[in-house]
Amino acid sequence: MKKRLLSGIRTSGVTHIGNVFGAINQWVQMQNDYESFAMLADLHALTTPSEAVNIEKKTLETAKLYLALGLNPKKTTIFVQSHVPQHAELSWILGTIARLGELERMTQFKDKSLGQESINLGLFAYPVLMAADILAYNADAVPVGEDQKQHVELTRNLAERFNSRYGQTFKIPEYISQKSSARIMGLDDSSKKMSKSAENPKNYIAVLDDETTIREKIKSAVTDSGSEITFSEEKKPAVSNLLTIFSLASGKSVGDLEKEFTGHGYGQFKEVLSDALVAYLSPIQEKYKNISNSEIKNVLAEGAKHAQEVAGKTLGEVKKRVGLLQI
Ligand code: TYM
pLDDT tens, residue by residue, 165-182:
999 999 999 999 998 888
CA 59/CA 81 separation, integer angstroms: 10
Distance CA 193, CA 167 (A): 39
**Region of poorest pLDDT, from 68-82, 85-99, 111-125, 284-298:** 111-125
Axis-axis angle for helices 293-322, 86-95 (nearest 10): 40
What separation in Å is there between the alpha carbon of 226 and the centre of ligand 1?
33
| CA atoms of 227 and 251, how far apart (whole Å) | 24
User: What pLDDT score does 235 carry?
Assistant: 95
Active site residue 313: no
**pTM of the complete model beyond 0.95:** yes
Helices and strands, counts by H and E, the chain: 14, 5
Tell me: pLDDT of 50 over 90. Answer: no
Residue numbering of the annotated binding site: 10-12, 18-19, 133, 145-147, 184, 193-197
- Whether 196 is catalytic is yes
pLDDT band at 53 (very low <50, low <70, confident <90, very high): confident
* Residue of 112, 202, 217, 236 with catalytic role: 112
Ligand 1 pocket residue status of 19, Cβ below 6 Å: yes
- The DSSP H or E segment spanning 35 is strand 34-41
Given the residues 2, 74, 171, 196, the one annotated as active site: 196
Ordered by start, the domain boundaries in the chain are 4-177+293-322, 201-288
From CA 296, how far away is CA 300, in angstroms rounded?
6
pLDDT the model gives residue 136: 98
More confident residue, 87 or 115: 87
State if residue 133 touches ligand 1 by the CB under 6 angstroms criterion: yes
Q: pLDDT by residue (tens digit) across 252-292?
A: 999 999 999 999 999 999 999 999 999 999 999 999 999 99
Residue nearest (by alpha carbon) to ligand 1 atom 18: 19
CATH superfamily, region 4-177+293-322: HUPs (3.40.50.620)
Distance CA 147, CA 13 (A): 16
In CATH, what is the architecture of 201-288?
Orthogonal Bundle (1.10)
How much of the chain is in helix, strand and coil states, percent to nearest 5?
Answer: 55, 10, 35
**Annotated catalytic residue within 2, 64, 192, 193:** 193
> How confident is the prediction for the chain on average, in pLDDT?
96
**How far is the centre of ligand 1, averaged over its atoms, from the C-alpha of 150 (Å)?**
12
